[in-house]
Chain A
Amino acid sequence: MSQLPQFTPILPELIIVCLAMILLIYGVFRGDGATRNISWIAVLGLLVAAICVSAIPAGKILAFDGQFVVDDFGRYMKWLVLLGSAVAIIMSLGYNERESISRIEFPVLILFATLGMLMMISANGLISLYVGLELQSLSLYVIAAFQRDSVRSSEAGLKYFVLGALSSGMLLYGSSLVYGFSGTTSFTVLADLFKQPATDPSVGFVVGLVFVMAGLAFKISAVPFHMWTPDVYEGAPTPVTAFFAVAPKIAAIALFVRVLMGPFGELFAQWQQIVILMSVLSMLVGAFAAIWQTNIKRLMAYSSIGHVGYALIGLAAGSEPGIRGILVYMTIYLVMTIGAFCCILAMRRDGRMVENISDLAGLSRTHPMMALAFAVFMFSMAGIPPLAGFFGKLYIFLAAVDEELYTLAIIGVLTSVVGAFYYLRIVKLMYFDEPAEAFDKDSNREIGVLMTVAAMLTAFFIVFAGPVIDGAEAAAGILFSG
């Protein structure tokens, strides 16, 4: 009985892989002059893929001998990732042209990275997990070093590669232990393994689990595996940093959630403490280390570490509201981060990027609208209502309180106060200080449009909070329906 496997579930992935290869060939023939066209086609392809994600029949679908899964949780996360990647390509257009690194490989690499992320989100086995993760990581290493004439960019790429390889090694080692002690790589079988109340995992299995978690923690840059983040964020070209801060992070969080809630769901008691510890440390490092930063990209790196800490609170709750909280949080995080990086991309003076926080001084006088948008993102990241960021935190803390994780919730809110300090520092520079020299009048329309849209979404999230949360609710429910 030989028949072709079902291809419908992987339709978005197929579109992206075909598009990436066609664009690569097209680009080779047309040369770097075609980059702008290729980029827009890639964006279009990503959006088509996003439409296809919703076109796949509803419910939970397994494909390829159970190695690949599509469910509402995956759909939701794929939308976010595809959106993040599409926006990252648009953001890179103007920047790459001005820095004369506008090469055709850039959009193609982002497509391949996105393909890896979609694969990660849909992984239902240790093998498919690793394949997706590596496809993503290898593309990202190259993109990090894309500005190859710049020492900083090359250094960032190399650092990312070495540490990323280390984390992949840990992940593989953990996977091999898990396989060795359970005899399977399939998430479905692993999940059933501990369903019987009496079966306790062996020590080797738990060690394997810990290594897998450590490997994944690298990818989401949770403390204590966060060291690469500030250096890579600072060194990589700014649109790449923006891309790193959104798409791979969301995909890695999705993977982290799926692995822990799926195959290892019954081992909640074992991994909960690790997640709590990582969450607390991430929040603390994210809040305190950012205070002394002077480079805006480094500051965003620590800020993203802090945000991962908050998202992990939802995972530590291990409940449906917790997962819903993560989904809402990551959605809002995506919008805020894109917006903030649009502002950072607009920080150009005399044709060169400036990255010091002090360069923002008096922005409210020189560029009032940009300052307003940036202030909205900063207040939102600090979690001040009525902006979107508050609702992200609200749902996370809601889940924590529901599971009676009071200590974690209190640490969370208190670090958010510390975090508010450095976000406010940026607002202070923009609004209270005397203006520095004005930035270049930005001729880049895409950035302006993205910034405006992101600011609107952040500021008026309060109005349409209902639909977003209902969507997240449906997506979270699927992880618990079995």
Chain B
Amino acid sequence: MTDWPILSLVTFLPTLGAAFILLFIRGDAADVAQRSRATALWVSLSTFLVSLLLWVDFDTTTASFQYVQKIAWIPSLGISYHMGVDGISMLFVILSTFLTPICVLASWQSVQTRVKEYMVAFLVLETLMVGMFCALDFVLFYVFFEAVLIPMFLIIGIWGGANRVYAAFKFFLYTLAGSVLMLIALLTIYFEADSSDIPTLLHHSFDPDLQRWLWLAFFASFAVKVPMWPVHTWLPDAHVEAPTAGSVILAGVLLKMGAYGFLRFSVPMLPFATEFFTPLIYTLSIIAVIYTSLVALAQEDMKKLIAYSSVAHMGFVTIGIFTLTQQGLQGALFQMLSHGIIASALFLCVGVVYDRLHSREIARYGGLVHRMPVYAAMFMVFMLGSVGLPGTSGFVGEFLILVGVFQVNSWVAMLATTGIILGAAYMLYLYRRVIFGKLTKDDLKNMLDLSPREIAVMAPLIVVTLWMGIYPAPFLAVMDASVANLISEHKTAMEAIKAVSLAAR
């Protein structure tokens, strides 16, 4: 292991890049834009390369936190700058650093106004996302978790579509309303356990009655972020109005923050309440899976369709987390990564045609395969990944989740499986309407196929999708120890609570 603070480096390198762009890049507009793009790309690429070191040196045999760094921050309250990753969070750090250069590259031409600010916003956003997954002190966690709202609000609001102001406000206020309740819960925990240190809190047992309240407060925040039905309504608006790269980050990383919160706080710290509320999670997730899939079927707007499919796929994730089985949890984590790649790629695919025609309406398209064969092929890979075809990453995640949930509750498993069928229906239907059919519309007849830049954006995503689908072992190996530890800790905690309640009788 290296002894230099690699996590802090990964976290703050993008901010340094942003500061550089903000302070040193001046001159005439076109020049500034070009140099901002280039700087942002190089900074995010080097951040990605540095973050890969995390994986290289990662010790898969232990469940404890690695690359830990701890500095006193507010000593009078015992709050510290505490960073570290385990098998649950490490891959999300890499997912964030992987998607950022792709976003920069994807916005190369589609963003022409205020390029400098755009790149600064994305680099700051990267810092906040990575920091959120690394934070091991909940004040620090909360700072990163909440601060994400600022750059995202600006990204949607400045570079978004026609209805962007409404979407940006809805996104901001919805998530803020959830998060502030979590803040109260965190403060309660702070006084209950007398610590804000996450590793310490993981071993603290809370009073069962208190657990329920805390769990609900956490739920308010994470359910909005995931998003779970019925608080998902901000997502379609935000996705539709956000610029392509904004949608990529939203779908790719921001949605994972809610599920990560469940895994980091709700499940390990509040085992009793987790068992107590599992039926609630199952019910809401099943509704999300089936209902939003049906809604997706009826969409006329490509981005909205994919947004609803995200809600459905995240429903799988929450089911998987609350099965509390090795397969279910690993499946949930895998599905989060896979969805992070595939949903991002699908938004990029929409972005490609949107850049050409400036319409997201499905009916405006048709027969694209005749003019854009490469695009059709790439779109197909991601579409099938989203459906969950064996050989793509989507299959592994969904399969593991279903294996996990079958051990616990076969009704939930059965209903969740219908979601996969519906998923195939709406994705194939979308694909048929956009790609196949007769090429009748005049403006489609001279659309150009993917440019080399666009291929460069898509290619790494295809590689990862297929890699995760064909040989998922390296990913699963990272999670193994941490997930096993999570489950065994949960069992011990539940037995302790049962012993106490038996003794009380």
**B143 within 8 Å of A by Cβ?**
yes
Q: Which of B69-77, B291-299, B318-326, B444-452 contacts A (4 or more CB under 8 A)?
A: B69-77
**B222 within 8 Å of A by Cβ?**
no
Interchain CB contact under 8 A, A465 and B74? yes
**B164 within 8 Å of A by Cβ?**
yes
**A435 within 8 Å of B by Cβ?**
no
> How far is B159's CA from A431's CA once the two chains are assembled, in angstroms?
10
When distances are taken between beta carbons in the complex, the residues of chain B under 8 Å from A428 are 157, 165, 168-169
**A28 within 8 Å of B by Cβ?**
no
Interchain CB contact under 8 A, A397 and B184? yes
Interchain CB contact under 8 A, B180 and A401? no
Interchain CB contact under 8 A, B165 and A432? yes
Instruction: Please tell me which one of the listed residues B146, B164, B184 contacts residue A406 in the complex, with CB atoms under 8 A apart.
Output: B184
Instruction: Please tell me which one of the listed residues A401, A421, A473 contacts residue B187 in the complex, with CB atoms under 8 A apart.
Output: A401
**B6 within 8 Å of A by Cβ?**
no
**A409 within 8 Å of B by Cβ?**
yes
Interchain CB contact under 8 A, B73 and A465? yes
When distances are taken between beta carbons in the complex, the residues of chain B under 8 Å from A414 are 177, 180
> How far is B117's CA from A428's CA once the two chains are assembled, in angstroms?
15
Count residues of A near B (Cβ-Cβ below 8 Å).
31
Separation in Å of the B73 CB from the closest CB of chain A? 7
> How far is B159's CA from A139's CA once the two chains are assembled, in angstroms?
49
Q: Which of A37-45, A190-198, A344-352, A384-392 contacts B (4 or more CB under 8 A)?
A: A384-392
Instruction: Please tell me which one of the listed residues B117, B149, B191 contacts residue A384 in the complex, with CB atoms under 8 A apart.
Output: B149
Contact A420-B183, Cβ < 8 Å, known A385-B146, A432-B158, A470-B76 = no
> How far is B168's CA from A386's CA once the two chains are assembled, in angstroms?
19
**A439 within 8 Å of B by Cβ?**
no
Separation in Å of the A452 CB from the closest CB of chain B? 13
> What 1/0 flags go to B163-197 for Cβ under 8 Å of A?
01100110011001100110110011011000000
When distances are taken between beta carbons in the complex, the residues of chain A under 8 Å from B181 are 410, 413
Q: Which residues of chain A from 115 to 157 have any CB-CB distance to chain B below 8 Å in the complex?
A: none
For B172, give the chain A residue with the smallest CB separation. Answer: A424
Interchain CB contact under 8 A, B183 and A384? no
Interchain CB contact under 8 A, A390 and B191? no
Contact A424-B169, Cβ < 8 Å, known A414-B180, A416-B180 = yes
When distances are taken between beta carbons in the complex, the residues of chain A under 8 Å from B25 are none
**B53 within 8 Å of A by Cβ?**
no
**A394 within 8 Å of B by Cβ?**
yes
Q: Which residues of chain B from 242 to 287 have any CB-CB distance to chain A below 8 Å in the complex?
A: none
Instruction: Please tell me which one of the listed residues A386, A402, A421, A473 contacts residue B173 in the complex, with CB atoms under 8 A apart.
Output: A421
Instruction: Please tell me which one of the listed residues A410, A417, A462, A470 contacts residue B143 in the complex, with CB atoms under 8 A apart.
Output: A462
**B67 within 8 Å of A by Cβ?**
no
For B113, give the chain A residue with the smallest CB separation. Answer: A365
For A399, give the chain B residue with the smallest CB separation. Answer: B187
**B375 within 8 Å of A by Cβ?**
no
Q: Which residues of chain A from 391 to 409 have any CB-CB distance to chain B below 8 Å in the complex?
A: 394, 397-398, 401-402, 406, 409
> How far is B182's CA from A10's CA once the two chains are assembled, in angstroms?
47
> How far is B142's CA from A385's CA once the two chains are assembled, in angstroms?
8
> How far is B220's CA from A417's CA once the two chains are assembled, in angstroms?
14
> What 1/0 flags go to B81-107 for Cβ under 8 Å of A?
000000000000000000000000000
Interchain CB contact under 8 A, A431 and B154? yes
When distances are taken between beta carbons in the complex, the residues of chain A under 8 Å from B172 are 420, 424
Question: How many CB-defined contacts (below 8 Å) exist between A and B?
Answer: 85
When distances are taken between beta carbons in the complex, the residues of chain A under 8 Å from B139 are 394
Interchain CB contact under 8 A, A385 and B147? yes
Interchain CB contact under 8 A, B187 and A466? no
Contact A386-B169, Cβ < 8 Å, known A397-B187, A398-B187, A466-B75 = no
When distances are taken between beta carbons in the complex, the residues of chain B under 8 Å from A401 are 184, 187-188, 190-191
**B426 within 8 Å of A by Cβ?**
no
**B382 within 8 Å of A by Cβ?**
no
Interface bin, chain B: 35 or more
When distances are taken between beta carbons in the complex, the residues of chain A under 8 Å from B143 are 385-386, 390, 462
**B153 within 8 Å of A by Cβ?**
yes
Separation in Å of the A387 CB from the closest CB of chain B? 8
Q: Which residues of chain B from 101 to 155 have any CB-CB distance to chain A below 8 Å in the complex?
A: 117, 139, 142-144, 146-147, 149-150, 153-154
Interchain CB contact under 8 A, B147 and A397? no
Interchain CB contact under 8 A, A397 and B183? yes
Instruction: Please tell me which one of the listed residues A410, A432, A465 contacts residue B164 in the complex, with CB atoms under 8 A apart.
Output: A432
Separation in Å of the A133 CB from the closest CB of chain B? 33
Separation in Å of the B236 CB from the closest CB of chain A? 20
**A469 within 8 Å of B by Cβ?**
yes
Interchain CB contact under 8 A, B184 and A431? no
For A321, give the chain B residue with the smallest CB separation. Answer: B77
Interchain CB contact under 8 A, A466 and B74? yes
Interchain CB contact under 8 A, B183 and A413? yes
Instruction: Please tell me which one of the listed residues A402, A417, A427 contacts residue B180 in the complex, with CB atoms under 8 A apart.
Output: A417
| Centre residue among A364, A417, A462, A469 by max chain B CB count within 10 A | A417
Interchain CB contact under 8 A, B73 and A413? no
**A379 within 8 Å of B by Cβ?**
yes
When distances are taken between beta carbons in the complex, the residues of chain B under 8 Å from A413 are 180-181, 183-184
Separation in Å of the B179 CB from the closest CB of chain A? 9
Interchain CB contact under 8 A, A431 and B173? no
> How far is B71's CA from A466's CA once the two chains are assembled, in angstroms?
12
Contact A421-B146, Cβ < 8 Å, known A397-B187, A398-B187, A432-B157 = no
Q: Which residues of chain A from 429 to 467 have any CB-CB distance to chain B below 8 Å in the complex?
A: 431-432, 462, 465-466
Interchain CB contact under 8 A, A417 and B75? no
When distances are taken between beta carbons in the complex, the residues of chain B under 8 Å from A385 are 142-144, 146-147
Q: Which residues of chain A from 349 to 383 have any CB-CB distance to chain B below 8 Å in the complex?
A: 364, 379
When distances are taken between beta carbons in the complex, the residues of chain A under 8 Å from B150 are 379, 384
Separation in Å of the B154 CB from the closest CB of chain A? 6
Separation in Å of the B243 CB from the closest CB of chain A? 13
For B159, give the chain A residue with the smallest CB separation. Answer: A432
Contact A417-B183, Cβ < 8 Å, known A384-B149, A424-B153 = no
> How far is B190's CA from A477's CA once the two chains are assembled, in angstroms?
21
When distances are taken between beta carbons in the complex, the residues of chain A under 8 Å from B173 are 417, 420-421, 424
> How far is B76's CA from A473's CA once the two chains are assembled, in angstroms?
8
When distances are taken between beta carbons in the complex, the residues of chain B under 8 Å from A466 are 72-76
> How far is B191's CA from A409's CA once the two chains are assembled, in angstroms?
14
When distances are taken between beta carbons in the complex, the residues of chain B under 8 Å from A379 are 150
> How far is B176's CA from A384's CA once the two chains are assembled, in angstroms?
9
Instruction: Please tell me which one of the listed residues B74, B142, B147, B168 contacts residue A432 in the complex, with CB atoms under 8 A apart.
Output: B168
| Centre residue among B144, B146, B168, B176 by max chain A CB count within 10 A | B176
> How far is B436's CA from A6's CA once the two chains are assembled, in angstroms?
94
When distances are taken between beta carbons in the complex, the residues of chain B under 8 Å from A465 are 73-74
| Centre residue among A385, A427, A428, A432 by max chain B CB count within 10 A | A385
When distances are taken between beta carbons in the complex, the residues of chain A under 8 Å from B158 are 431-432
Interchain CB contact under 8 A, B146 and A390? yes
Interchain CB contact under 8 A, A384 and B147? yes
When distances are taken between beta carbons in the complex, the residues of chain B under 8 Å from A390 are 143, 146
Interchain CB contact under 8 A, B191 and A402? yes
Instruction: Please tell me which one of the listed residues B165, B176, B184 contacts residue A409 in the complex, with CB atoms under 8 A apart.
Output: B184
4 more contacts with CB within 8 A, not counting A390-B146, A421-B173, are A397-B184, A420-B176, A424-B169, A431-B157
Please give me the 7 A-B residue pairs with the lowest Cβ-Cβ distance, nearest first. Answer: A413-B180, A385-B143, A401-B187, A432-B157, A417-B177, A385-B146, A386-B143
Supply 15 A–B pairs (Cβ within 8 Å), ascending by A. A384-B150, A385-B143, A390-B146, A401-B191, A406-B184, A414-B177, A420-B172, A420-B173, A421-B169, A424-B172, A427-B153, A432-B157, A466-B73, A466-B76, A470-B75
